[in-house]
Amino acid sequence: MPKGRFIVVEGGEGAGKSTMIAEIVSYLREHGVPDSAIVKTREPGGTPIAEDIRKILKDVRTDDRLCAESELLLMYAARAQLVQTVIIPALEAGQYVVGDRHDLSTLAYQGGGRGISRQLIKSIRDAVLGDFYPDLTILMDLDPAVGLARAGKRGDLDRFEKEQLDFFVRVRNTFLSEYEAHRDRISLVRADRDIETVRADIRQILESKCIAG
């Protein structure tokens, strides 16, 4: 049984992650991967327990305020649950896992956005995930003002969407500095271009990384 592959799409609000995940799934199908061997995940979430944690993380409540450290630990609680009960078993069964966000988001949002030290995030990451990393991370980069305008068309805002623009600028800058530091495992896509051009870029990355090829 060949080992599966874990492909993650990362980026800010409204960068087009969901849209491009659909493209990755189409690419896999066209390359002969059956639906039964494609697992889609989202973070935080992706298992019943992790989805419950997601609700806490996104909830806008007024009787208590989630502090940054609680937010960080909840992200990793949800991630541990997802990795251990869904992602690793799927990879061991030779399946393709396509993830909507993973731990690069934690460095960007809880690190860059909330100001938690990289060192603390890394020590929790290492304790929870050890040497587990995605095979490929695709970073969709977009000016947050454009992303928020795209995403903001959708009614009620959650706890993250209520943040101010400067928060999302710090998030973007952290994503970009991680890309600069890890170009070997992160591919960058400029998400400010039309959907067809972005789709073509995604396909080219999958081809060059021999995903399903």
Least Cβ distance, residue 156 to ligand Z5A (angstroms): 12
Q: Are 54 and 61 in contact (CB under 8 A)?
A: no
User: With binding defined as CB under 6 A, does residue 106 bind ligand Z5A?
Assistant: yes
For residue 122, give Cα distances in angstroms to 59, 119, 176, 187. Answer: 26, 5, 17, 21
38-42/96-100 β-pairing = parallel
Count of residues making up the chain: 213
Query: What's the one-letter identity of residue 149?
Result: A
Give bridge partners of residue 154 from the DSSP assignment.
Answer: none
Contact code string over 126-165 relative to ligand Z5A, x by CB under 6 A: ------------------------xx--------xx----
- The nearer residue to ligand Z5A, 96 or 168, going by C-beta atoms, is 168
CA distance 210 to 197: 20
User: With binding defined as CB under 6 A, does residue 13 bind ligand Z5A?
Assistant: yes
Contacts of ligand Z5A in 26-85 (CB under 6 A) = 42-44, 75
Least Cβ distance, residue 143 to ligand Z5A (angstroms): 12
Q: Are 78 and 43 in contact (CB under 8 A)?
A: yes
- The nearer residue to ligand Z5A, 88 or 128, going by C-beta atoms, is 128
Least Cβ distance, residue 2 to ligand Z5A (angstroms): 28
Residues that bind ligand Z5A (CB under 6 A): 11, 13-19, 42-44, 75, 101, 105-106, 109-110, 150-151, 160-161, 191, 194-195, 198
